[in-house]
Amino acid sequence: MRKTLALVLFVCVCSLSIGWTAARQVKPAGVTMTPIEDVLIAVREDLQNDRAETMAKNLKLTSDEAAKFWPVFSAYQKEQNLIMDEQLKGIQRYIETFDTLDDAGALELINAHLARDAKMVSLRQKWLGEFQKVLGTKIAARTIQIDRRLSLAQQMRLSAKIPLVH
């Protein structure tokens, strides 16, 4: 069963259009990383590129707005990455213990999902104000809307691949 779950995670990651080659290109020289760290780097790079492209298409910023927005958005993504990395590591732990999961493990899993959701809401609330400073309220609100939609779609794809607790 553990092999099946590992395969599910791998398929899930591949469904996010991740290139292992890209992950290896950003790995610092001389640093040994575990396969899950490679996956996290690849997921992060893929999601950042997709989000930035979608933002650019839907925000239609002036050159002045863009010059102010993109550094702020990059900083936002760095904070978002920490939450996403934590989630993927939690999924990996779940896969590794799926066959022997007890009540405490099941509770830990669902609490981690709920905590991730709360952290994302808190992060968006914080950065809404930062985006307002450089874009104004309507475009800042649109930025959060787009980001939220992208996150919901990604979470749906990810959740659909993870088996329910049994």
For the stretch 91-102, pLDDT in tens is: 888 888 888 999
The mean pLDDT of 13-35, rounded to a whole number, is: 44
Integer angstrom CA distances of residue 134 from 67, 137, 146, 149, 156: 9, 9, 17, 22, 31
The confidence band for 34, taking pLDDT boundaries of 50, 70 and 90, is low
- Half-sphere exposure of 34 toward its Cβ, with a 13 Å CA cutoff? 5
Under 8 Å between Cβ of 8 and 162: yes
* Structural tokens at position 108: 């830990």
Residue written as token pair 């999961």: 101
The mean pLDDT of 132-159, rounded to a whole number, is: 94
Mean of the per-residue pLDDT values of the chain: 81
Give 45's contacts (C-beta < 8 A, 6+ positions apart). Answer: 18, 22, 23, 26
* Structural tokens at position 9: 């995670």
- Specify the pLDDT at position 40: 66
pLDDT of residue 152 exceeding 60, the answer is yes
- The domain ranges of the chain are 2-161
Whether this prediction's pTM lies above 0.85 is answered by no
**To 10 degrees, what angle do helices 103-135 and 63-97 make?**
180
